[in-house]
Structure 1
């Protein structure tokens, strides 16, 4: 079958299109899907260079999510251990979710990984309370566009979007953010505090480096920073626990893999809610584009260079 194969770690250039990738075999509790579209995620760019939280081994077919059909004709979206950039993929039945009418492929892929992440960032990790301000970094990205909308829908106070371009900030405002801040602000701490009227309760952060440092410094007492990525590939400064205590602030890490380990408990209800909100038109997943399989490397370049918005898809059949 056609697939993307990685035989050495590195940048986008290591993504190779092949026509002879062996088809996946079914396993106990699993199902082999005919893939209509695969999802592209920033984490995939880390996996390609083996800098992700879970170490990779070669050769590999990347891709953590697909939408497609089961042998009995059900249309499902699935989370994978890998292998999504291909015409067929094996998924655990427990990590497949039937896609309801009124939700298209792109929307389903936006919801299953990035939507579930946004749900847990706000509900499980930050434990957002009504009226609390929320700062969303990378607000025009796959997680960010959904987090902005969910924070607004769930009764958050001021929703502050942080993004790197005027177009991205305009998109975040259109999705419900109250104010948008330039990610390139020299005094990002001050800009976030001003945007939140001086009280920063929750920050969703996936950039790393000084962005994390300044966001943490901006937190009000009892504020929480949820760290779920490091797109800059630059670690933030070590966290001083004494300083956390001094300001009654919290730093929380989140990785969706832990929700995937118990999908009935941690994913079934979020997916049901996200599907319902999307089908009703309350939640608007943003699909930023679809790439043919041969352009997977270009898709990774666009992700790394912040040229994309929303959810990106890969079509393994073109």
Structure 2
């Protein structure tokens, strides 16, 4: 349960910076962290939140990833390598959309599934934070057909507005058949999935030979059951898991490369963030409930002044 409490101001250590927070990003991972069902275990007391945008003491406007949470607050401490300067003209919601969800979409398409021009791409939860950016990136990078899934007519309309070629109901009983039909009767090349359960199983079954699935979450809280060596061999399938913190173990500064390219695409008007709404810090629980209900679109943020 999330409650608003008073805590002492955090103190930056060596290689860190204090950020006076203007907005806090809300991610689906935060709901896992709050209920201790995330990849890294949680312990109490816990201040959730892994992304903030605000000002440093020397006046820099930065968007930052936080190590271990702490973002649902008025002030937070960030490691300098992951406090990225925000270009003029990029608003808070866009900056927060890019630091986790945009970089996740970038990595899924560039590193996990290696999108090539002309390939078909399925984006599940296409109206969400990662999905809405992934649809736009796939189109910008030459995907032959972008197939979006979403749970309501409004969300499917948004996916089409963002560039998807077709949008289908994410509640389809035969997801494999629905995806193949949406691709003109052909198996698909790439699927980006954070649902889990039967959606993941049927998505893998819909892949063409040498197709790839980028798996980055389990919103359903259900493990896939049908993925195994035999099913992967049947169509030379690749299933690539992706957890954002692992990007920092890669040689070179891949994270900065992703952020730089995303900011350039935003400046060119090629990729935009979808504002999912602003909640007060005292309303963090309501923001989590909205995410779990799958009734949201785009990027949800918290305002520490409320």
2:281 to 288, 293, 307: 293
C-alpha distance in 1, partners of 2:218/2:110? Answer: 21
Other-structure match for 2:236: 248
Q: Structure 1 CA distance, aligned partners of 2:172 and 2:92?
A: 36
Partner residue in 1 for 2:178: 191
8 A Cα contact 1:119 1:147, kept in partner: yes
Indicate the residue corresponding to 2:248 in structure 1.
260
Residue number in structure 1 paired with 2:52: 66
**Structure 1 residue 38 corresponds to structure 2 residue 24:** yes
Q: Does residue 1:117 correspond to 2:104, yes or no?
A: yes
1:72-122: CA deviations, max 9, x gaps? Answer: 000000011210000000000000110001100000000010000000000
Query: 2:265 is matched with which residue?
Result: 277
Cα deviation code 1:97-149 (max 9, x no counterpart): 10001100000000010000000000000000000000000000000000000
Distance verdict in 2 for CA 1:61–1:263, change over 3 Å: farther
Deviation, structure 1 residue 243: 2.2
Q: Once superposed, which parts of structure 1, at least 4 consecutive aligned residues long, lie more than 3 Å away?
A: 260-264
Q: In the alignment, which residue of structure 2 is the partner of 1:75?
A: 61
1:259 Cα deviation after fit = 1.1
Q: Is the 8 A contact 1:37 1:68 kept in 2?
A: yes
192-201 or 83-92, larger mean C-alpha shift: 192-201
Question: Does the 8 A contact of 1:94 with 1:264 survive in 2?
Answer: no
TM-score by length of 2: 0.98
**2:144 pairs with one of 157, 174, 181:** 157
Q: Given the two structures, how large is their TM-score scaled by the length of structure 1?
A: 0.94
**Runs of 5+ consecutive residues of structure 1 not aligned to the other structure:** 1-13
Out of 48, 62, 85, which is 2:34 matched to?
48
- SS of the residue aligned with 2:4? strand
- The answer as to 2:75 corresponding to 1:88 is yes
Q: Secondary structure at the match of 1:114?
A: helix
Please tell me the root mean square deviation across aligned C-alpha atoms, in Å.
Answer: 1.0
